Amino acid sequence: MSPSKHIVILGNGIAGITCARHLRKGDDNIQITVISGESKYFFSRTALMYVYMGHMKFEHTQPYENWFWEKNRIDLVQDWVEKVDFEGKKLYCQSGKTITYDQLVLATGSKPNKFGWPGQDLMGVQGLYSKQDLELMEKNTESGVKKAVIVGGGLIGIEMAEMLAYKNIEVTFLVRESGFWRNILPEEESEMVRRHIREHHFDLRLNTELEEIISDGSGKVKAVKTKSGEEIPCQFVGLTAGVSPNIDFLKGADLDLDRGILVDQLFQTNLKDVFAIGDCAQFREKPDKNRNLIEQVWYTGRMHGETLAQTILGKPTPYKPGVWFNSAKFLDIEYQTYGQVPANWDESQVSNFYWEHSSGKVCFRMLCDSDGRILGVNNFGFRLRHEFFDKAIREQWSGQKVIQNLDKANFDPEFFAPYISAIQRTYAEENNITLKISKPSFFQRLIGAKL
Amino acid sequence: MKYIQLIGLTLFLTGLLAFTVIPFLGEYTISEGIVLDNTKDIHQEKMKELLAPMYGKEYSSSFSFIRELNQRVDNYNSELKAESRWDQVIWDDYSFPLAKASLSSPVQNHPWLFLFVSIGLTVLGGLFYNLPKFKGEPEGIKNNGIFHSKMKNRGWLGMLTGSYLILFYVILYWFPAYMVNLVWMVEPLSLILSGNPASQWFLYGLIYTLAILVMGVRMFRKYKGNRYQQIRTASVMFFQTAFAFLIPEILVLLNQPYFDFKNIWPLDYSFFYDYRIETLTSSGAIGMFMLIWGILLIVVGVPVFTYFYGKRWYCSWVCGCGGLAETVGDPYRQLSDKSLKSWKIERYLIHGVLVLAVVMTALTIANYFSAFSFLGNVTNQLHSFYGFAIGSAFAGVVGTGFYPFMGNRVWCRFGCPLAAYLGMVQRFKSRFRITTNGGQCISCGNCSTYCEMGIDVRWYAQRGQNIVRSSCVGCGVCSAVCPRGVLKLENGPEEGRINDMPILIGNDSVKLNA
């Protein structure tokens, strides 16, 4: 039987690949092609740092064995698409190949932001997003790099700092805000991460902005200059001031673009049979009042892919994200968040509970609305159960009910310190209430797990 | 590298060098008395006659001595075999006791000194090297550089280490006569512990235990801040030292049968062999207790404990093979093959060995109760085949020698019949599972990479599915290395434990089986 239609997915990241997998799950007959110039096989972008640091080899970052794609008849093409003829439904590749489609999914991801700093294209200056960026970074830091400067204090910045530290390169970290990742994290959490960054001997400079990157005369970086005029010598500069949709090659066509490719709740662009998902898509309207127009997280990319596959399979499915969640790791400190915990809040509208362990590396924050119903939590240095908070936030539990049941949310390994009971105790004290404090398990008592 | 670690490395290498050189020391002189003392009554006359030309001659190397000794016995045996006089063939290998008794070497005069210079220095060096590890560093995952290492990523150092281990096991199992110097070195220690002269197995037990202890210390450093790993490591160190090494020796000192209370059939494949049953049944109340204890572990201990805690209670907390894998083998855990193909091979192999062990034991028991009228001595040949192929070649040479090539759980994953039995209980009737934390997985692959059993953990984690696999030994490292807090080893109700059609949380647009 000949295929009913040919779906071409441009980009083999988590969004594109998830879409391809669900298309195949739902329809045995369509032809599916995934094009990427970056790599033939899907890999986990978030794991690139581990390849650099020798925790894994590149092939370990590939979630599916190579036979998987052939078995599921997902055709993989490794090529860069240079131009799209939306009229003729045709893609022009760098190799000279052309590929025609019936429906096109754009899942082209992001590229590192460069804000027009002087010297931003010098040798030894780079961002970190793609496999090619990783290879470039390996080359750039192979030898002769003693000092590096990282510009921008986000998740990629701290990963890059950790990577450079593996090669014993001294890292200076320029952060524009008054605290680390302060546009996302509340003050105490941001401060905790700052302390931990210092513990790892990185020179973190807050309230510091990049003015220019200085060349050594042969096209290589030799220093950066900050807005305050200080010159910091370095042989490598990491630009990690966020990412933006990777859509330059689509400009000039009929496709509606803003910062990203404009889509509706069905991920449809203004052109028929053309969709966009993942980092490169920009919603015309927020999918939810708490959501951004552009979602650049692994999890949202996956959800976009899952959702769009249904629409293409003939079941129009608008994107309705559930309770927000995210996670990250700052050097050795794990971070999870469920629901809404903004960097700042209106204290007349929101009640705040914060607990921090004396080690200064473990903390828990819960925000509730004026009726005492949970809005969201942040947890650092210990693990909490997604399912628990998804339910609690969805069902608008009271803060007290959440704390009372917090032992059910514990996701730390057995024998770990009983943080839950410490949180419950503090909550009870602060609110002058009596709570049943969770008892440690038999084994925890057996080996005397203590705070 | 820190100064003290450098000293440690030097000490370790010096000790290793001494350990390697010591077997070549001394001379060998055999006498009639030695032959009579070390051969069975039925062979005494013949052996005395066969070896007579060697009496009083001084052999300056083990090679010339053992070669000539074996040649003389072999020549005699092949004549008999040619004439099919099987019952007169000398099947026993006397080369080890004869070589041990014929040796005169400085090692015998200064055993403690040689023990210190070889094994002592490796232990000391190992501690010096491991104790300062990660000093001053914050608690966290210490996997930096593993795949850039010559040792841990099948580089030349790993190849060399693997080859050395394989050579050691080959000599230990099949040519122990060449290591009698090393055995003499531990003779006084053996006399103290059990009152008996040392065998190559005592030497092996000592090295094995010390290796677990020293590398256990390394685990404490590496997994600083992870209580599960720390306690688990302390547990394997304890069970190896007390149960596998000291208690059996002390039992012998007290005139009781040698018995490892934590070894379980069918890993302990000779448990039902006639000579062992006879030893136990003829050793009074304690012997009977040991026999009943051993059987209770098989029929009650394994199912009950595995039901409540999964097979980890044994494989990564108690077992000696597991203890070695989790300490000495930890640097190689990432080398296990994660492919679907290897999983298929694993299932055929490990269950094949289980079937073999069960059939062999069933025949042995049937034969025993029929007073050997059922199969005669056919079971003996079965025993020697199993002992050679599974007990020595698979568990020893491949099991440990292949650490640097195929990861630290080759035997546990592909060969151990007890692991197969525990695994069946774990898969079909247990409260244990590894839970995945909703939709938090980012498919990074750390869990799969560091799974010593070659389980593709990520496959389950990224679809939000509980990990219920017969091979999982519950070492907890997947959970430790996960950067997003996705994996948790848990015991819980059986309901919903196996969820083949999981749904990832977080997307309200559509409910999908991942």
**What digits encode the pLDDT tens for the residues B51-86?**
999 999 999 999 999 999 999 999 999 999 999 888
User: Nearest residue of A to residue B477 by CA position?
Assistant: A413
Q: Please answer yes or no on whether B147 and A55 come within 8 Å at the CB atom.
A: yes
The tokens describing A47, both together, are 């794991």
Q: Please answer yes or no on whether A321 and B506 come within 8 Å at the CB atom.
A: yes
Residue B244 DSSP one-character state: I
Q: For residue B228, which residues of chain A lie inside 8 Å, CB to CB?
A: 413-416
User: Nearest residue of B to residue A26 by CA position?
Assistant: B512
Per-residue pLDDT, B380: 87
Residue B239 DSSP one-character state: I
Residue B16, judged by CB atoms within 10 A of its CB (0-12, 13-18, 19+), counts as middle
Whether chain A has a CB inside 8 Å of the CB on B233: the answer is: no
Share of chain B above pLDDT 90, in %: 92
Termini Cα distance of chain A: 65
User: Nearest residue of B to residue A159 by CA position?
Assistant: B483
User: Nearest residue of A to residue B512 by CA position?
Assistant: A306
In this structure, CATH architecture of domain A325-447: 2-Layer Sandwich (3.30)
Q: Which residues of A410-420 are buried (b: 16+ CB within 10 A; e: fewer)?
A: bbbbbbbbbbb
pLDDT mean across residues, chain B: 95
Q: Please answer yes or no on whether A325 and B145 come within 8 Å at the CB atom.
A: no
Fold annotation for A125-241:
FAD/NAD(P)-binding domain (3.50.50)
Residue with tokens 């079941």: A315
Scanning B419-458 for CB atoms below 8 A from A yields: 435, 437-440, 442-446, 448-449, 458
Fold annotation for B431-513:
Alpha-Beta Plaits (3.30.70)
Residue B285, SS3 per DSSP: helix
Query: What are A356's strand-pairing partners?
Result: A363
pLDDT score of B372 more than 80: no
Whether chain A has a CB inside 8 Å of the CB on B61: the answer is: no
Q: Which of B227, B340, B481 sits opposite A65 (nearest CB)?
A: B340
Q: Please answer yes or no on whether B138 and A53 come within 8 Å at the CB atom.
A: no
Q: Please answer yes or no on whether A327 and B484 come within 8 Å at the CB atom.
A: yes
Q: For residue B510, which residues of chain A lie inside 8 Å, CB to CB?
A: 306-307, 310, 317
CA of A297 to nearest chain B CA: how many angstroms apart? Answer: 10
Per-residue pLDDT, B375: 78
Q: Please answer yes or no on whether A332 and B138 come within 8 Å at the CB atom.
A: yes
Size of interface A-B (CB pairs under 8 A): 160
Residue B387, judged by CB atoms within 10 A of its CB (0-12, 13-18, 19+), counts as middle
Q: Please answer yes or no on whether B509 and A65 come within 8 Å at the CB atom.
A: no
Per-residue pLDDT, A116: 95
Per-residue pLDDT, A449: 64
Per-residue pLDDT, B268: 96
Q: For residue B148, which residues of chain A lie inside 8 Å, CB to CB?
A: 54
CA of B259 to nearest chain A CA: how many angstroms apart? Answer: 28
Per-residue pLDDT, B374: 76
Q: Residue A54's closest CA among B341, B331, B256?
A: B331
Whether chain A has a CB inside 8 Å of the CB on B146: the answer is: yes
Per-residue pLDDT, B370: 87
CA of B464 to nearest chain A CA: how many angstroms apart? Answer: 11
Residues of chain A with pLDDT under 50: none
CA of B479 to nearest chain A CA: how many angstroms apart? Answer: 8
Range list of β-strands (E), A266-412: 274-276, 281-283, 325-330, 333-339, 351-356, 363-368, 374-380
DSSP B338-357: -SHHHHHHHHHHHHHHHHHH
Q: Which of A62, A200, A323 sits opposite B138 (nearest CB)?
A: A200
| pLDDT tens-digit series, residues B213-257 | 999 999 999 999 999 999 999 999 999 999 999 999 999 999 999
Query: What is the domain partition of chain A in residue ranges?
Result: 5-111+244-313, 125-241, 325-447
Tally the residues of chain A: 451
Preferred mutation among A50, A379, A442 to probe B, highest tally of B CBs within 10 A:
A50
Preferred mutation among A41, A49, A53, A56 to probe B, highest tally of B CBs within 10 A:
A56
Task: Provide the H-helix boundaries in A5-154.
Answer: 14-26, 48-52, 67-71, 131-140
Q: Please answer yes or no on whether A62 and B445 come within 8 Å at the CB atom.
A: yes
* C-alpha triplet B409, B414, B417: angle, nearest 5°: 105
Q: How far apart (Å, rounded) are the C-alpha atoms in residues A399 and B294?
A: 53
Q: Please answer yes or no on whether A306 and B144 come within 8 Å at the CB atom.
A: no
Q: Please answer yes or no on whether A331 and B141 come within 8 Å at the CB atom.
A: no
Q: How far apart (Å, rounded) are the C-alpha atoms in residues A149 and B75?
A: 77
Per-residue pLDDT, A235: 98
Per-residue pLDDT, B176: 97
Whether chain A has a CB inside 8 Å of the CB on B150: the answer is: no
CA of B294 to nearest chain A CA: how many angstroms apart? Answer: 26
Q: Please answer yes or no on whether A413 and B148 come within 8 Å at the CB atom.
A: no
Q: For residue A320, which residues of chain B lie inside 8 Å, CB to CB?
A: 507-509
Asked whether this chain's domains A125-241 and A325-447 adopt the same fold, the reply is no
CATH number attached to the domain at A5-111+244-313: 3.50.50.60
Angle between helices B200-222 and B320-327 (to 10 degrees): 50
* C-alpha triplet B90, B47, B105: angle, nearest 5°: 110
Q: What ipTM does this complex have?
A: 0.95
Q: Which of B280-289, B294-303, B376-385 has the lowest mean pLDDT?
A: B376-385
Share of chain B above pLDDT 70, in %: 100
For B130, how many CA atoms within 13 A lie in the half-sphere containing its CB? 24
Radius of gyration, alpha carbons of chain B: 25
Residue B168 corresponds to which amino acid? F
CA of A159 to nearest chain B CA: how many angstroms apart? Answer: 12
Q: Please answer yes or no on whether B438 and A387 come within 8 Å at the CB atom.
A: yes
Query: What is the domain partition of chain B in residue ranges?
Result: 27-103, 215-398, 431-513
- A318: cis peptide before it, omega within 30°? no
User: Nearest residue of B to residue A387 by CA position?
Assistant: B438
Q: Please answer yes or no on whether B443 and A44 come within 8 Å at the CB atom.
A: yes
Radius of gyration, alpha carbons of chain A: 24
Enumerate long-range contacts of B59-64, CB under 8 Å, 24 or more apart.
B59/B27, B59/B28, B59/B29, B60/B27, B61/B24, B61/B28, B62/B23, B62/B24, B62/B28, B62/B99, B62/B177, B62/B178, B62/B180, B63/B178
Q: Please answer yes or no on whether A196 and B138 come within 8 Å at the CB atom.
A: yes
Whether chain A has a CB inside 8 Å of the CB on B492: the answer is: no
